[in-house]
Amino acid sequence: MLHQPRRWLPGLLPLALLAGGVLWSKQEAIEADLARRATDAIGAVSTVDGKPWAQVTMRGRDAIITGTAPELDAAPRAEDLSEAQFGIRRADAANDFLAPANPFGWSARREGQIIVLSGQVAPDGARARLVEAARKAFPGAEVSDLMTLARDIPAAATRAAEMGIAQLGKVTPGSASIAGNAFRFTGTAADAAAKSDIERALATLPQGVTTGGINVTVPTPAAAEPPPAPAAILPPVADWSVIKAEDGAIRLEGSVPSEEARQRILAAARAATTGPVTDAMTVVPTLPAALEAKALAAIEQLKGLANGAARIAGTVYSFTGVAANHEAFETLAAAVRGRNDGYTMGDLIVAPPVISPFTWSARRGPDGVTLMGFAPSAEARDRVMALARRLAGGMTVSDETRLASGFPSGVDFGLLTETALTQLLRLTEGSVQLTGNRLTLAGRASDAALAVQIREAVAGLGPPVVGITDIALPVADIPPPPPPPPLAVDLTPPPPPTPPVEVEAAIPSPPEAPPLAADLTPPPPPPPVPAPSLATAAAPVAPPPPAPPAPRPDCSVIIQTALEGDRILFDYWRAEQKAEHGAVLDRLAAAIKRCAPDERIEIAGHADIHNWTGGNQKLSEDRAAIMREELLRRGVSADSLVVVGYAAMRPVAPNDSEAGRALNRRVEFHVRPRN
């Protein structure tokens, strides 16, 4: 039978169809099993508040990981864990990250039988531990949890917060707060012994947390007096607060003088945000009517904060938070302090707005040094300015920096800017820019040895800083376009001769003719003159040789100088121009127009290693094409530009971190000879 294929070969087709149908029907179940095993593997080592953060979906044998990762290194770790599962060929993380806690802030406040927890907590289960600590310290009390998750919070901060909550159970009222690494505690203890216990318990804080102030008071014992005469009952002391979270949610607490005032305050809060508004206010008719006006003013001022709180305690008004933008930061504190409405000022802390990514830059030019971007504090800005003046010698130093929050944790701003300015001022001209944890230094060095030293100094910063240098060697002053060479001789042909007079340049003039007679008889002809020699006809003297052409500008140096260390980077899986690209493209277009006609500019698009749609090649080409269109709009000749996409084949940084992948999502410009 084996030698008679006509009998068994027709049966192979239905058998193949049957096998394919079985595999197709099982594919969904196989993919679901692979996704479940990958999700479980990630959840076993990385969670957010004790719950898995990653969701894995399968496309054939390729895994796509989505979700909000708790740390920057959680995404590559999730990819490795997924690829370790049998049956998964490749894993790509397309996830977001928790916002960094910069600046970090947390507080716990006791108001009677209500405990309010607010601020930022780590995603390692710290929220549950702090809520449980509050319930243990205040049995039967209401715990209001307004905390939000954030990354880059040290474990010592959570331990200090637990210590503060435990001691709040011994005061009434009171508060514990952490701002950055400074711990602060205030409250009124029942007696001197309780005060001593609290101060002793908080004397030793976890390593890395400093004391911002421990202020515990005790009631002053009244002197023995005869029984006082009956007096009227004093009105209750005002106690009202409003809290705004990062997502815009507003919570109103405390007492107000009337139901009408409560409704007006509630309406103002709803008009001030697009988030939810929680009303926990109560009506106490004997409160002063001025409380309503102050509460409405507080809600209006809270519009200028990204998150924060305002509180009225008696006649003391406190206002704290993070400004929503620089305009609010520059005006809000003065506006709050300047109100004259019968209330005294308590805490007034307005932190600068959060900038992401955090940027700082300096530029050295012929006129001096200019500092731009942001500084994390006024002290840091003043230190950088003093350093720049010392290093610049007699050059002018201009400071255009503003204050901002959001500087990467784990990076020393002082050391980073000191290294950047020291190396920048060793160049003849150039610029340095810090974006997040990426430092880029570009310019011209006087010689190769100095350039090597500068590169080594920047590279020596080490992780988590990514140092990039782009230094022109040797020094090259870009010459202006050469003027047209002067003409050696006048090549304009002479006008045609006018008869009867004949003019020859090399023949000497004949003797003067006698005056014509009255009858106009022509004079006798002059004696013959010998023909001029060839040497005589060649007069005037031969012109000097033409001057050698001026050296042609180095197109690579022109483009490098125009970029000034800036890079054209793109967001994840995007090929869209950013506003920050505009100034770079303006300089680049002007530089390309100065290049020689026989040179062309290669616009090279690149992508990171993520390729979950299989379209990295097209993505890199699209990024380069976008830059070409922008240069054409700026007057660059289309014949000078060529678009190339390299996908992920030419990384400039490791793809094992988000910072490295961000550097690889780029467009570069190279000078190529025209074919």
CATH number for the domain including 347? 3.40.1520.20
* Residue 365 and residue 381 share a domain: yes
Structural domain of 49: 27-97
Q: What is the pLDDT of residue 482?
A: 47
Whether the CB-CB separation of 29 and 87 falls below 8 Å is answered with: no
Pairing status of strand 344-351 against strand 90-93: unpaired
Based on the fold, state whether residues 346 and 322 are members of the same structural domain: yes
User: Among 450, 472, 494, where does a domain finish?
Assistant: 472
Which among 599, 572, 620 is positioned nearest to 675, based on CA atoms? 599
What number of residues does the chain have?
675
Q: Is 266 a residue whose pLDDT tops 50?
A: yes
Helix, strand, or coil here: 69?
A: strand
Is 540 inside any structural domain?
A: no
Percent of the chain with pLDDT over 70: 79
| Same-domain pairing of 111 and 88 | no
Instruction: List the single range of 159-163, 233-237, 270-274, 429-433 with lowest mean pLDDT.
Output: 233-237
Of 49, 77, 97, which residue constitutes the final position of a domain?
97
Tokens of 664: 């690889």
What is the rounded distance in angstroms from the CA atom of residue 430 to the CA atom of residue 565? 8
Name the band, by pLDDT with cuts 50, 70 and 90, for residue 10.
low
User: 95: pLDDT confidence band, cut at 50, 70 and 90?
Assistant: low
In sign, the C-alpha dihedral spanning 424, 425, 429, 431 is positive
**pLDDT tens digits for 17-26?**
766 665 556 7
Q: What are the C-alpha distances in Å from 574 to residues 392, 423, 569, 666? A: 41, 34, 10, 11
Q: Is 535 inside any structural domain? A: no
Q: Is 258 exposed, middle or buried (0-12, 13-18, 19+ CB in 10 A)?
A: middle
Same domain, 84 and 65: yes
Mean per-residue pLDDT for 324-352?
78
pLDDT at 470: 76
Q: Are residues 63 and 112 both part of a single domain? A: no
pLDDT score of 233 more than 80: no
Whether pTM exceeds 0.85: no
Of the pLDDT bands very low, low, confident and very high (cuts 50, 70, 90), residue 155 is confident
Strands (E), 5-48: 47-48
> Does 514 map to a domain?
no
The pLDDT of 601-625, averaged and rounded, is: 85
pLDDT band per the 50, 70, 90 thresholds, residue 304: confident
The position carrying tokens 């508060």 is 175
First-to-last alpha carbon distance for the chain, in angstroms, is 66
**CA pseudo-torsion sign 585, 589, 590, 591:** positive
Q: How far apart are CA 192 and CA 28, in angstroms?
A: 70
Which tops the pLDDT comparison, 242 or 495?
242
Predicted pLDDT at 161:
92
11 lies in a domain? no
User: Are 74 and 209 within one domain?
Assistant: no
**What residues are paired with 186 via a beta bridge?**
175, 215
Give the CATH number of the domain where residue 605 resides. Answer: 3.30.1330.60
Q: What is the mean pLDDT of residues 356-372?
A: 86
Question: Is residue 597 predicted with pLDDT exceeding 90?
Answer: no
Q: Could you say which of 77, 97, 117 is where a domain stops?
A: 97
151 vs 416: CA distance, rounded Å: 22
The reported pLDDT for the residue numbered 478 is: 41
Taking residues 567-587, what's their average pLDDT? Answer: 85
Same domain (yes/no): 162, 134: yes
- What's the rounded mean pLDDT across residues 51-69? 86
Higher-scoring residue by pLDDT: 464, 278:
278
Residues 191 and 302 reside in one and the same domain: yes
Q: Please tell me the predicted confidence (pLDDT) of residue 427.
A: 87
Q: What is the pLDDT of residue 631?
A: 93
The tokens for 558 are 């022109």
Give me the half-sphere count of Cα atoms (radius 13 Å) on the Cβ side of residue 33: 7
Count of domains forming the chain? 4
| pLDDT for the residue 475 | 39
Do 179 and 285 fall into the same domain? Answer: yes
Helix (H) or strand (E) holding 109: strand 105-111
Which run of H or of E encompasses 289? Answer: none
Task: Pick the more confident residue, 501 or 354.
Answer: 354
Q: Is the per-residue pLDDT at 595 higher than 90?
A: no
- Alpha helices for 460-567 (secondary structure H): 534-537, 555-563
Of the candidates 35, 50, 51, 46, the one whose C-alpha atom is nearest the C-alpha of residue 76 is 46
* pLDDT at 491 (0 to 100): 47
Number of neighbours of residue 40 by Cβ within 10 angstroms = 13
Q: Is residue 509 part of a domain?
A: no
Determine the pLDDT at residue 226: 59
Taking the C-alpha atoms of residue 469 and residue 185, their distance in angstroms, rounded to an integer, is: 47
User: Mean pLDDT across the stretch 271-296?
Assistant: 87
Percent of the chain with pLDDT over 90: 12
Q: What is the pLDDT of residues 619-672, one digit of tens each?
A: 999 999 999 999 999 999 998 899 999 888 888 888 777 888 888 899 999 888
Please determine, for residue 218, whether its predicted confidence score (pLDDT) is greater than 90: no
Residue 534 lies in a domain: no
Q: Are residues 81 and 130 in the same domain?
A: no
On whether both 118 and 260 belong to a single domain, the answer is yes
Lowest-confidence range among 87-96, 149-158, 294-303?
87-96
Query: 285: cis peptide before it, omega within 30°?
Result: no
Token couple for 489: 């001789």
* Mean pLDDT along residues 118-141: 87
In a domain, 337, yes or no: yes
- Contact assessment for residue 378 and residue 399, using Cβ atoms and an 8 Å cutoff: no
Report strand pairing: 466-472 vs 438-444.
parallel
Torsional class of 254: left (φ above 0), alpha (ψ -120 to 50), beta (otherwise):
left
Q: Which two tokens stand for residue 377?
A: 């504090």
Per-residue pLDDT reduced to its tens digit, 456-502 = 888 888 777 888 887 776 534 444 444 555 544 444 555 665 555 44
Q: Does residue 303 sit within a domain?
A: yes
Cα–Cα distance measured from residue 643 to residue 621, given in angstroms and rounded to the nearest whole number: 7
* HEC-encoded secondary structure of 325-370: CHHHHHHHHHHHHHCCCCCEEEEEEEECCECCCCEEEEEEECCEEE
Q: Which is higher by pLDDT, 406 or 14?
A: 406
Average pLDDT, whole number, for the chain?
A: 79
User: What pLDDT score was predicted for residue 479?
Assistant: 43
Question: Quick one: average pLDDT of 449-459?
Answer: 85
Tell me: do 404 and 329 sit in the same domain. no
pLDDT of residue 537: 46
Q: Which two tokens stand for residue 644?
A: 């190339």
151, 96 contact by CB (below 8 A): no
Pairing type for strands 96-97 and 402-403 reads unpaired
- Whether residue 124 has pLDDT greater than 90: no
If you average pLDDT over residues 372-386, what whole number do you get?
Answer: 89
Bond prior to 510 in cis (omega within 30° of 0): no
**Main-chain phi, psi angles of 282, to 5 degrees:** -125, 160
